[in-house]
Amino acid sequence: MNYRTRKGLVPYLFVAPNTLIFSLFVLLPMIYGLGFSLFDGNFTTGLGNFVGLQNYQELLQDGAFLRALLNTLWYVGAVVVMVVVLSLALALMLKETTLASSIARVGFYLPVILSPVVVGVAWRWMFGTELGIINALLTMTGGSPIPWLTDVTWARVLVTLASVWSMTGFYMVLFIGGLNTIPTDMYEAAEVDGASPAQRFWKITVPLLVPTTMLVTILATINAFKAFEIILVLTSGGPGDSTKLLVQNIYQSAFEGGNPSYASAQSVVLFAVLMLLTFVQTRIARED
């Protein structure tokens, strides 16, 4: 092997370990899942019979799946909007490095390092309908308890807020990083030209933060689509199936319904939705 060939191989050797791990643990299961969705197998019989697109046809008439998909879209929309707005707001407030802002940053980042199960349990302790601290305080002060987790609307609101609370700190850090890359002389020049703070925000900060905002939006969207643990602990997908998202529905189809082929078909749909959204978001970013 001559020097040129060896030199040409170096980059591939660098990416080889990651490619190998990715292929083994991500690509291969994905291909297997896609194939499995075309069969009627289960855990005891294995692949079973080839049924083509029958599992996908059933999905279109499956009320539980459609409700879970709708819940997921609603949840993702709410979470992503709130996360982007709140994390940007926090980043703007805390971008200067002082002792107070550093303490505040740590405070806002703390929920990120908590396990989602701990977040769910903590929120349940606070908002439990019968035994929650907040309802106990309300009752002690003469108020009426609020059905936080047993009312459809309240449960949806709380699930969203808990998720937003648990992830905003992480995106705040990304925004702070993005804000620090904007040259300060641009703000100074705009200030000399008489631009107001609002003008400076809309004309300088927002356009120059587009790459960071897109990154945050894509990551938050993917994470929101994969939400599972917090909701499982907080409401178990209830009341009824009002907070049951696609991932929980997939889990239940596979392990409670004993139908992994059907669950695979749902996973493929989730994957397709995520791919589509990511594609649209990156196209928008490129055009900007």
Partner 1 sequence: MRRFAALLAALSLASAQAKTDLQVVWFTEAPAEQTIFDKYVLMYEKANPDVDVSVTYVPFQQLTQKLQLMVAGKTPPDVARVVTANIAEFDPVASDLGKYTNGTTFANQFLSSQVPYIKKGNRVIGAPLDVTANGLFYNKDCFREAKVAVPTNPLRPWTWAQWRQALETVTKNSKCRFGLSFDYTTLRFSTMLYQAGGRYLDASGKKMAVNTPQSERAIDFFADMVKDGLIPRSQWLSGEDPSSLFKSGLSAMYMSGNWNLTQLSQVKNFQWGVAPLPKDKIRSTVPGGKFLMGFKDSRNPAEGAKFIQWLTGKDINIAFSKDNMTLSARKDARGVKYGTFDDEIAIYQSDLSITPSYVGRDWSNPAMAKINTFIRDQIVKVLLGQQTSKQALEAITAEGNKNLK
Of the candidates 226, 224, 227, 233, the one whose C-alpha atom is nearest the C-alpha of residue 127 is: 233
Examine residue 52 and tell whether it contacts partner 1 (CB under 8 A).
no
Q: With H, G, I as helix, E, B as strand and everything else as coil, classify residue 86.
A: helix
For the CB of residue 239, give the shortest distance to partner 1 in the complex, in Å.
4
For the CB of residue 168, give the shortest distance to partner 1 in the complex, in Å.
24
Examine residue 241 and tell whether it contacts partner 1 (CB under 8 A).
yes
Residues in the interface with partner 1 (CB under 8 A) total: 28
For the CB of residue 125, give the shortest distance to partner 1 in the complex, in Å.
11
Q: CB neighbours of 117 closer than 8 A, spacing ≥ 6?
A: 229, 230, 233
Q: Select 197 or 258, whichever has its Cβ closest to partner 1.
A: 258
Q: Select 218 or 238, whichever has its Cβ closest to partner 1.
A: 238
Interface with partner 1 (CB under 8 A), residue from 14, 32, 125, 255: 255
- Radius of gyration over alpha carbons of the chain, in Å? 24
For the CB of residue 23, give the shortest distance to partner 1 in the complex, in Å.
19
Examine residue 150 and tell whether it contacts partner 1 (CB under 8 A).
yes
177 within 8 A of 244, measured Cβ to Cβ: no
Q: Is the torsion defined by CA of 199, 203, 208, 211 positive or negative?
A: positive
Question: Which span (44-52, 79-87, 201-209, 279-287) binds partner 1, by CB under 8 A?
Answer: 44-52
48 within 8 A of 40, measured Cβ to Cβ: yes
**Per CB under 8 A, which of residues 54..73 are in contact with partner 1?**
64
State the DSSP H helix or E strand holding residue 264, giving kind and residue range, or none if neither.
Answer: helix 260-287
State the DSSP H helix or E strand holding residue 285, giving kind and residue range, or none if neither.
Answer: helix 260-287
Examine residue 257 and tell whether it contacts partner 1 (CB under 8 A).
yes
Examine residue 46 and tell whether it contacts partner 1 (CB under 8 A).
yes
- The CA distances from residue 116 to 108, 165, 227, 228, 233, in Å, are 15, 11, 9, 9, 9
Question: What token pair was written down for 195?
Answer: 């631009």
Q: What are the φ/ψ torsions at residue 238 (nearest 5 degrees)?
A: -95, -175
Examine residue 125 and tell whether it contacts partner 1 (CB under 8 A).
no
Interface with partner 1 (CB under 8 A), residue from 21, 26, 107, 130: 130
112 within 8 A of 101, measured Cβ to Cβ: no
Q: What are the φ/ψ torsions at residue 186 (nearest 5 degrees)?
A: -65, -40
For the CB of residue 185, give the shortest distance to partner 1 in the complex, in Å.
54
- Binding-residue pattern over the window 197 to 236 for partner 1, x denoting contact by CB under 8 A: -------------------------------------xxx
List contacts with partner 1 (CB under 8 A): 43-46, 64, 124, 128-131, 147, 149-150, 152, 155, 234-236, 238-241, 252, 255-258, 260
